[in-house]
Amino acid sequence: MTSSVTVPPREGRGIRVNQGQRLRLTTPKGSQCADFFAFNAQNVQEYLSCPHTWVTNFSIVPREGTVFLSRFRRPMLKLVTDAADGAHDMLITTCDQFRYELFGHVGPHANCADNLLTSMRRFGYEIPVVPQAVNFFAKSHVAEDGTLSSPPNPVAAGAYVEIEALMDLIVVVSACPFDMDVEGWEVSGGHRHELSELIMDIV
């Protein structure tokens, strides 16, 4: 069984995590958004759902102790250790080809949605829906008037989260390739930072 997987910059990878195992997700170089998805290994129609998780934890930000629920409201994972100082998000939907085109990009652009689909195909699954990701190592901010922004998120090199599987899972992480120069949108440090790899370890 694979116990360590490197997710190269701009790409996605999957890993099986059995019930009771812990997955450590590390960002070796700091600010690099990790789009995180989890599927029931026995039934990939059941996947981690951010909206079901918000309403049960009374929070739109994952914290130590947060239990992530599936769309069937069953516990899938628990955030056991947060060594990234709370710089996480559950609001920003996964980037796809069209998001880059909306910002004026011409031609194919690596994106987390396609990274997820490709990663699940490596396990033999064609999934019909791209779920709302948990974005580790990426901050979002909601102002009182509802304005949404992604402020600078200084995340230390080597920051990590540790997550316990509460059922047998296929976990997919995409090292978000967002590199556009957009005012108020500093995901992965915006255009100023190099995109980097992420590491998944069973610990």
| Residue ranges in contact with Zn ion by CB under 5 A | 95, 112, 176
Residue placing its CB nearer to Zn ion in the complex, 46 or 178: 178
Q: What stretches of 65-182 adopt beta strand conformation (E)?
A: 67-69, 75-83, 88-89, 134-136, 141-142, 148-149, 159-165, 169-175
Residue placing its CB nearer to Zn ion in the complex, 112 or 169: 112
Shortest Å, Cβ 113 to Zn ion: 8
Shortest Å, Cβ 58 to Zn ion: 27
Residue placing its CB nearer to Zn ion in the complex, 69 or 176: 176
Q: What stretches of the chain adopt beta strand conformation (E)?
A: 4-7, 12-17, 22-27, 34-40, 43-47, 67-69, 75-83, 88-89, 134-136, 141-142, 148-149, 159-165, 169-175, 198-202
Shortest Å, Cβ 48 to Zn ion: 16
- Which residue type, as a one-letter code, is found at position 200? M
Residue placing its CB nearer to Zn ion in the complex, 112 or 173: 112
Shortest Å, Cβ 177 to Zn ion: 6
Burial class (CB in 10 A: 0-12, 13-18, 19+), 56: middle
